[in-house]
Chains A and B, each alone.
Chain A
Amino acid sequence: MKLSSGTIRLIIPAASLALLLAAVFYMQPRAMSYTGLNLLFNLAVPIALATIAQMLIMSVNDLDLSMGTFVSFCACVAATVLQTSPLLGVLIFIGAIAAYAGMGVLIHVRELPSIVVTLGMSFVWGGLAVLILPSPGGTAPSWARAIMTAKPPLVPMAIVASILIAAVTHYIVMRSSFGVLMRGTGGNDRSVERAGWSVIGIRAATYALAGLFAILAGIALVGLATSADANIALRYTLLSIAGVILGGGEFVGGKVSPIGAVIGALTLTLAGSFLSFMRISPDWQIGAQGAILIVVLALRLALNRLEKREKHQ
């Protein structure tokens, strides 16, 4: 049987997720239920959306170090303005998407390093979040709360949402012509330009789309947490990067996988629950998460070697 390299790329993330899930079920059989699964994966939805946003930026060879502060900012807007005056909230979000597109244009036109520009923007978003919500609080819009706590039959909301996110982004990134252009820009922007496309436009659109997914992450987070605070999602910056890499994406060359990214985000979330089921002392939980990250990546290396050997034969 012939497997495409894209499929092989997905096997390791999927296998490590399955393995972790099996381990959790073994230790806590009661997790193998509708409520159990929902609890395990609930927090994965905003992380998955943020990971997708980071993946879009990474597909054009950039990196967004402001993801955590931006999602926090969006959560603050969602818990305050969007709840009290929805129209203004939507306008703020449109402005934020425009800011992301502008950031993409700026990075492209001036050939600036994305790491630094997004680093600077992380201060801006952090400041805006503090201005909007000086102290933790706010209320989630009731519709966001309703969506995030919905109980569809048979399969918990968290799983449904993850599958939906994966399917939609898989279509955008892997199947649509825009997705091809986007990944092409990451692979070789000069050849995309020679072929008559506007690379500035592609980068701006990619950034805008990333902004949109990050906003959805913020809203989803507020829907779960019911209130917000300016530091609510700071760890999303590193989590989202780790999620993309875990899911088989790469930093350069437009090699990304949306399904992989969602699986990566689920794996990272599950790793947290797994460690608390293991009764590992809280001191070591962060360290154990680092260790899990290393083990999964080592597995990926082993598989990549296998893939290469098959190609040579």
Chain B
Amino acid sequence: MTIQKFITEKPWIWSFSATITVWIITVLFTGGASSFGLSQAALTFAAFSVIVGIGQMFVITLGPGNVDLSVPATMTLSGTLALKLMDVQDGMIIVGLLASIGVGLVIGLGNYILIKLLRIPPIIATLSMSFIVQSVAIWSNRGLRIKPPETLASFTTSGLFGIPNIALVALVLSAIAWVLLEKSIYGRWISAIGQSRFAARMAGIPVDGTRLVTYMLCAVLASVCGYLLASFSGGAALNMGSEYLLMSIAVVVIGGTAVAGGNSNIPGIWGASLFMFLVVSMLNTYGFGAGIRLMLTGFIIIAVILLAGGKRSSR
């Protein structure tokens, strides 16, 4: 009985057990030779999904219909602008980071202005916004591939005690997000808004302020992720954010955050991000073609959701 209670109270268990299973299968298949490299790569690539996933999680917690589709465009624009501004100079690293945070703040503000003033559903508002942001990125990129400053590039590609620096950054961000979500009044507010916006407003919660901050937070995390990803991969590319649209939503939901809002959890995002990366690399090691790989990824996502999700299954 207690085990069952533990599992229902900790929805992230599912994503972690799935991750460990996939990791073991992959390592067994390669005869244990790849366990260190695989873990390193998984941590690095999962870290990027975790950073955007946390932002998306805050937005999804706000309730049905809240989702930020401008994440990929924000990542691209922030990466492009930051690298352009830094112009391979080590002294400009902080300036570049601040600039990318600034990009995030502006996009988040723009998103919420559209949602609030024009009363556009968030999906469409952030979608229209992402079109505009993408245009700005295309216009400023001009097909040039500017390299990141040397120090920043080596920071993003190296590690500390065998743990990739990117993963450490993501860990720090997750810790901050966890405190925000679980220990601060802001976290209570977003959960309350997600459960019932009307009740939250009646209880005197500043609904608009909280939602504005949440959309800005999501955009800032996306732009920081874009900044890191561009530095990690040695330059910004126009399509660098595209796979993170579905990824950011998938890791949140597989991680056990309620899509209907009002209930979120951060450990699950880590589990889900590692899981998504490991599934792809597992299928790669088995030597499947692209088609089979995609199909199996889809089936595995649905299987995890079936196991973990659903209101009736937990009863």
Contact = CB atoms under 8 A, between A and B. Distances in A.
Interface stretch (B9-17, B29-37, B149-157, B296-304): B296-304
A112 B294 contact: no
Interface in A46-82: 63, 65
Given A113-B309, A284-B135, A287-B132, A297 B120 contact: yes
Contact of B136 (A125, A131, A245, A287): A287
B259 interface: yes
A238 interface: yes
A272 B240 CA distance: 24
Contact of B259 (A113, A251, A289): A113
Consensus secondary structure, chain B interface: helix
Nearest to B136: A287
Interface string B86-128: 0000000000000000000000000000100011110110011
Interface in A103-125: 106, 109-113, 115-117, 119-125
Given A290-B128, A293-B128, A120 B298 contact: yes
A291 interface: yes
A87 interface: no
B246 A119 contact: yes
Consensus secondary structure, chain A interface: helix
B253 A251 contact: no
A120 B306 CA distance: 11
B183 interface: no
A119 B64 CA distance: 16
Contacts of B118: 294, 297-298, 301
A245 B295 contact: no
Given A113-B260, A116-B305, A128-B291, A123 B132 contact: no
Contacts of A115: 67, 249, 253, 259
Contacts of B128: 290-291, 293-294, 297
A13 interface: no
Interface string A265-299: 00000000000000001011111111101100110
B180 interface: no
Contacts of B119: 301
Contacts of A187: none
A119 B289 CA distance: 21
Contacts of B120: 294, 297, 301
A252 interface: yes
A37 interface: no
B310 interface: yes
Given A111-B312, A287-B132, A245 B250 contact: no
B222 interface: no
Contacts of B290: 127, 130, 134
B293 interface: yes
Contacts of B132: 286-287, 290-291
B291 A124 contact: no
Contacts of A116: 249-250, 253-254, 259, 301, 305, 309
Contact of B114 (A242, A281, A294): A294
Interface residues of A, number: 47
A241 interface: yes
Contacts of A250: 121
A118 to B, nearest CB: 10
Contacts of A294: 114, 118, 120, 128
A26 B105 CA distance: 40
Interface string B234-258: 0000000000001001100110000
A127 B288 CA distance: 11
Contacts of B138: 283, 286
Given A113-B260, A283-B135, A290-B132, A123 B298 contact: yes
A289 B131 contact: yes
Contacts of B246: 65, 119, 122
B298 A131 contact: no
B291 A127 contact: yes
A127 B123 contact: no
A254 interface: no
B124 A252 contact: no
B134 interface: yes
Contacts of A251: 65, 121, 123
A313 B128 CA distance: 35
B291 A242 contact: no
B175 interface: no
Given A127-B298, A283-B138, A297-B118, A110 B306 contact: yes
Given A116-B253, A238-B127, A284-B135, A110 B294 contact: no
A125 to B, nearest CB: 8
B61 interface: no
Given A251-B123, A294-B120, A120 B295 contact: no
Interface string B55-99: 000000000110101000000000000000000000000000000
Contact of A113 (B135, B253, B292): B253
A138 interface: no
A127 B295 contact: yes
A126 interface: yes
Given A241-B123, A241-B127, 17 more contacts: A110-B306, A110-B310, A110-B312, A112-B305, A116-B254, A116-B259, A116-B305, A117-B302, A119-B246, A120-B299, A128-B295, A252-B65, A284-B139, A285-B135, A287-B132, A287-B134, A290-B130
19 contacts: A63-B123, A106-B306, A110-B306, A111-B311, A116-B301, A119-B250, A119-B301, A120-B299, A120-B302, A124-B299, A126-B294, A134-B291, A241-B123, A241-B127, A250-B121, A290-B131, A293-B124, A298-B118, A301-B119
